[in-house]
Amino acid sequence: MQSKGSPVRIVYIVDDDAALLGSLERTFRAAGLTAVSYQTAFAFLDAAPDLSDGCLLLDIVMPEMDGLELQERLNSLGFNMPVIVMTAWGDVETAVQAMKSGAVDFIEKPFTTKRFSMPSMLHLRWTGVRPVIGKAWSLPS
């Protein structure tokens, strides 16, 4: 949870699945984070110039404009916010493309709570803790 006087941390979520958006919003709010969701890449792109600092949780497979295309457009606009890509249809090529475009993480859906919760994972991203593939979370070396 955020302490009094700490900056507001906003999680922006872009996904075409309304049920998932609602679930993630409730999860983040319960953890003391502000969550703002968008059901289309175009809606987020329109709002992007006026957004406060935060983190973008971005789905890949969406109609009209996919998450990777949105990520490229945001890059061309100088968008400077950590992007965590999520998808139910991930493969190595997609993960590599997302990471080369600046994503800080690639998460497969459905999410598992056995290793970490989504709010905890975002907190770790903001504080500089990084995962080590196949191992527990660790501090950067």
pLDDT at 121: 62
Sign for the pseudo-dihedral over CA of 65, 66, 72, 78: positive
Q: Count other Cβ atoms within 10 Å, centred on residue 123.
A: 19
Q: Taking the model in full, what pTM does it have?
A: 0.76
Is the bond preceding residue 131 a cis peptide, omega within 30 degrees? no
Q: Which residues contact 116 (CB under 8 A, 6 or more apart)?
A: 124, 137
The span from the CA of 125 to the CA of 100, in Å, is 18
Q: For residue 13, give the amino acid letter.
A: I
Averages of pLDDT over each 10 residues, the chain, 141 residues: 57 92 85 88 93 87 92 90 84 84 82 56 54 36 35
Bridge partners (DSSP) listed for residue 59: 86
Which domains are seen in the chain, by residue range? 10-128 (3.40.50.2300)
